[in-house]
Chain A
Amino acid sequence: MALPIYASPLERVWHYTYIVLCALIFLFLIAPILVVIPLSFNPDADFTLGVEFLDPSTYSMRWYDTLLTLGHPAVEGAVRDDAWWSAVWERSTWVQAAKNSLWVGLWATILATTLGTIAALGLSRPEMPYRRLIMALLISPMIVPIIIIAVGMSFFYAKACVAPDSAMALIFGWMLSEKGCLANSHLGVIVAHAVLGIPFVIITVTATLSGFDQSLIRAAQSLGANPRTVFFKVIMPLILPGVISGALFAFVTSFDEVVAVLFIAGPDQQTIPRQMFNGIREAISPAILAVATILVVISVLLLATVEVLRRRSDRLRGVTGR
């Protein structure tokens, strides 16, 4: 935005103040995220440094190493053979947390994306009854404070149990806790995270569908396509970018969620955010910063994917520019 030539001197001063102001706000947004990265390579346990942490010659991978070794009795300087790595894979606290996070996130995403996409198809039909009310309900997990959701779930999931030796226990038992309840089980965390991810799927997929030309469906049908062919050959390719964006949102929501996990999960469902939450509560060890750095890298990758998808979706819908 160039300054018009009729601008007065005062306006010029204001214009440059405004640019500097914006730069400072951008710095406020991004600096905290960037500052974590160099600090995670700092070898000292207490990072009481001034600006020295910016000196790359002192960098070490010490805290990244801690992530592998924490939680299993690795001898200092032990040979890193296959046995050592399999011990890391089986016993390291952070590796276990990562495995749990990925597992829960994956299933929560699949659940939220499948149910959410099908529902979005119904919601974006003009003849959908009670559209506004149902939409409000489906978006509400994003609006209702997470602590309220977590409290409700911790009460209810502790009571949501199957009787031992019943048919339900035979089918679902392996996903539930030892007592056969949703609380303290992987399934409990998965459904909780799926609910939290659903608003994002609904919002992104209905947004993609808002530009969707409904006559394409009729065209396909008139050419003799059955509903399945219409869905997979006509609708899906066009809304896929929105679906993937929604899925990524749902995954990030689960991958970053800690409150529901704190309230409904047991010791077997230790996730990365929970581990971080506990770590931050005690005292910030630079190992937390190493995790944070890894998470920042992941979010950069996810952001890039979503941006690419969004542009592709805009192009498919014929939206030029933004």
Chain B
Amino acid sequence: MADAAEPLLTTADGRPLRAALTAAQSRAKRRAFLLVLPLLLFVLLTFLVPIIYMLMRSAEHDGFAASAPALVEWFGANPGFDPANPPEAAYAALVQDLARMQVEKTTGMAGTRINYSVPGTISLFKKGAREAADLTPPYKEALLAVDADWGKPALWRGMLSASDVYTPEFYLVASDMKLTDDGWARGQDNERIYLYLFGKTFLISALITVICLLLAFPVAHLLATLPMSKSALLMILVLLPFWTSLLVRTTAWIVLLQEQGVVNNLLVSVGLIDDDGRLSMMYNMTGTIVAMTHVLLPFMILPLYSVMRVIPPSYARAARSLGATSWTTFRRVYLPQTLPGIAAGSLLVFILAVGYYITPALVGGADGQLISNLISFHMTKSNWSLAAAIAAMLLAAILLLYWVYDRLIGIDRLKFG
């Protein structure tokens, strides 16, 4: 063939060019990767591993499995028992474990573990453990005489489930499921706190995103169309809040909006409201929304501004000269060109709002708390696995949004100022 007759392209020292090029490219790849490697290892070790560890904790709890060895062993030997009517041997193992818990002071730990799926179990365990040493066979009748609740199928299902250290239970609890006598079921409407708070968090975040967009659009447009010297000055008004401590801004809103705050005082002294008719704008949902909007507004203005800045004004002029009204020009010509900025800003604000913690914790009061605050609440109550499960669910939502952001906008397009 003609190709074979052609001389092979080689480098000066006689190596085939293709091989030399491949070697050079892989060397360049290795070099680039080596530069990133130290940071990559650092982030893996201090950031990614802790998060993976948290995910493991969300499916793991040995509070019951470690403190009830006899019952765990019995469950292992009899996996198919009927929770509605456990045999005497199971009760014997349970009483033995309860007596042991009393000695080793692990009653609280074991009771707490079961309590996640079957509420009211801690007190049952404490009472049972106190009496366990004095009980005599037959243990079933003896234990049921202490408290009839020991015969509840839900409790036995809960203990069976808790006898395994690894469990999906915390995800079920965080999805408002609870153990009934017939197995897992959806809780009543008034008990659905977790999914309700997830929904509320997403709704409030969406609301804040819309408010931010409405406020940011005119400002970004003004900044993009003013001459450089003026817009640079006004830009400081956007960047200063961005650089100011979050806690300072939250403090400022408390000072402004609380009942004895600046805004209420002004309104009273002007005579718009009575002294006893002061508006309550702080320590509730209003406070959370106002303060979060203020904090997140620059994250909407900056991406919008960077898109609007490069929109040529000649398009709008062309539309006008062709007879479009100013409204049509805006709607059909200008607005579509700003869409990349709207998408970037909205997604960023929404992602940041969903995981917000400090502002709701400080100004939210009772009804202005978001899902992050619930995670923190369970952490302080030592419900670590449950906190981790809720955090994992929030993380899944955030990663999904992050992926959308990367597809749509690209993370390397993020910029500040």
Q: Which residues of A contact B (CB under 8 A)?
A: 1, 4, 6, 11, 14, 18-19, 21-22, 25-26, 28-33, 35-36, 39, 46-51, 53, 111, 115-116, 118-119, 121-123, 125, 127-129, 132, 134-141, 143-149, 151-157, 159, 191-192, 194-195, 198, 200, 203-204, 206-207, 249, 252, 255-256, 258-259, 263, 273, 276-277, 280-281, 284, 288-289, 292, 295-296, 299-300, 302-303, 306-307, 310, 321-322
Known: A1-B222, A148-B51, A281-B362. A299 touches B240 (CB 8 A): yes
Contact partners of B238 in chain A: CB under 8 A: 29
Which of B167-175, B189-197, B386-394 sits within the interface? Answer: B386-394
Tally of A-B Cβ pairs under 8 angstroms: 273
Interchain CA distance A289-B39 in the complex, whole Å = 38
Asked whether any CB of chain A lies closer than 8 Å to the CB of B412, the reply is yes
Contact partners of B48 in chain A: CB under 8 A: 137
Contact A33 B252 (CB under 8 A): yes
B312 CB, nearest partner CB in chain A, Å: 14
Known: A22-B218, A118-B38, A299-B243. A51 touches B251 (CB 8 A): no
Contact B33 A284 (CB under 8 A): no
Interchain CA distance A212-B359 in the complex, whole Å = 39
Asked whether any CB of chain A lies closer than 8 Å to the CB of B151, the reply is no
Contact partners of A152 in chain B: CB under 8 A: 50-54, 391
Interchain CA distance A11-B253 in the complex, whole Å = 35
Given pairs A29-B241, A141-B47, 7 additional interface contacts (CB within 8 A): A26-B237, A53-B262, A119-B36, A149-B47, A156-B53, A194-B46, A277-B362
Contact B240 A35 (CB under 8 A): no
B382 CB, nearest partner CB in chain A, Å: 12
B250 CB, nearest partner CB in chain A, Å: 7
Contact A47 B255 (CB under 8 A): yes
Contact partners of B51 in chain A: CB under 8 A: 144, 148-149, 152
A110 CB, nearest partner CB in chain B, Å: 13
Main SS of the interface on chain A?
helix
B404 CB, nearest partner CB in chain A, Å: 12
Known: A123-B36, A144-B51, A259-B357. A280 touches B269 (CB 8 A): no
The listed residue (A6, A32, A122, A140) touching B253 by CB distance below 8 A is: A32
Contact A147 B414 (CB under 8 A): no
Contact B356 A195 (CB under 8 A): no
Contact B32 A127 (CB under 8 A): yes
Known: A139-B414, A195-B46, A296-B248. A50 touches B358 (CB 8 A): no
The listed residue (B34, B215, B255, B357) touching A35 by CB distance below 8 A is: B255
Interchain CA distance A155-B61 in the complex, whole Å = 13
**Which A residue sits closest to B395, measured CB to CB?**
A148
Contact with A along B257-268 (1 / 0, CB 8 A): 000101001101
Contact B253 A144 (CB under 8 A): no
Pick from B28, B47, B298 the residue with the most CB of A within 10 Å.
B47
A172 CB, nearest partner CB in chain B, Å: 13
Known: A33-B244, A51-B266, A119-B40. A322 touches B228 (CB 8 A): yes
Contact B398 A143 (CB under 8 A): yes
Interchain CA distance A145-B350 in the complex, whole Å = 12
Main SS of the interface on chain B?
helix
The listed residue (B33, B326, B355, B362) touching A145 by CB distance below 8 A is: B355
A and B contact pairs by CB, cutoff 8 A, 28 listed: A22-B222, A32-B253, A32-B294, A36-B251, A39-B255, A46-B260, A47-B255, A51-B266, A115-B39, A116-B39, A119-B36, A121-B35, A122-B31, A125-B28, A127-B28, A134-B40, A139-B411, A144-B399, A145-B354, A148-B398, A149-B50, A151-B54, A151-B375, A153-B46, A155-B50, A204-B416, A292-B252, A302-B243
Interchain CA distance A200-B47 in the complex, whole Å = 16
A-contacting residues, B15-38, CB 8 Å: 25, 28-29, 31-36, 38
Asked whether any CB of chain A lies closer than 8 Å to the CB of B245, the reply is yes
A-contacting residues, B291-311, CB 8 Å: 294, 297-298, 309
Interchain CA distance A157-B49 in the complex, whole Å = 10
A322 CB, nearest partner CB in chain B, Å: 7
Contact partners of B268 in chain A: CB under 8 A: 50
Contact B358 A288 (CB under 8 A): no
Interchain CA distance A200-B416 in the complex, whole Å = 9
A213 CB, nearest partner CB in chain B, Å: 18
Interchain CA distance A129-B29 in the complex, whole Å = 6
Interchain CA distance A203-B368 in the complex, whole Å = 33
Contact B251 A310 (CB under 8 A): no
The listed residue (A53, A119, A149) touching B35 by CB distance below 8 A is: A119
The listed residue (B31, B248, B394, B414) touching A33 by CB distance below 8 A is: B248
Interchain CA distance A281-B380 in the complex, whole Å = 16
Contact A136 B391 (CB under 8 A): no
B224 CB, nearest partner CB in chain A, Å: 9
Contact partners of B228 in chain A: CB under 8 A: 321-322
Contact A49 B265 (CB under 8 A): yes
Interchain CA distance A39-B399 in the complex, whole Å = 42
Interchain CA distance A156-B47 in the complex, whole Å = 10
Interchain CA distance A322-B326 in the complex, whole Å = 27
**Which A residue sits closest to B40, measured CB to CB?**
A134
Contact B240 A33 (CB under 8 A): yes
A220 CB, nearest partner CB in chain B, Å: 16
Contact B249 A263 (CB under 8 A): no
B313 CB, nearest partner CB in chain A, Å: 9
Interchain CA distance A18-B221 in the complex, whole Å = 10
Contact partners of B372 in chain A: CB under 8 A: 145, 147
**Which A residue sits closest to B415, measured CB to CB?**
A207
Interchain CA distance A156-B25 in the complex, whole Å = 39
Interchain CA distance A206-B413 in the complex, whole Å = 10
B307 CB, nearest partner CB in chain A, Å: 13
Contact partners of A137 in chain B: CB under 8 A: 40, 43, 48
Contact A280 B249 (CB under 8 A): no
Known: A29-B238, A147-B391, A295-B245. A306 touches B252 (CB 8 A): no
**Which B residue sits closest to A129, measured CB to CB?**
B29
B252 CB, nearest partner CB in chain A, Å: 4
Contact A276 B247 (CB under 8 A): yes
Q: What are the 5 closest A-B residue pairs judged by CB atoms, nearest first? A: A145-B355, A122-B35, A156-B50, A32-B252, A152-B50
Interchain CA distance A295-B122 in the complex, whole Å = 47
Contact B39 A138 (CB under 8 A): yes
Contact partners of B161 in chain A: CB under 8 A: none
Contact partners of B415 in chain A: CB under 8 A: 203, 207
**Which B residue sits closest to A118, measured CB to CB?**
B35
Contact partners of B320 in chain A: CB under 8 A: 4, 6
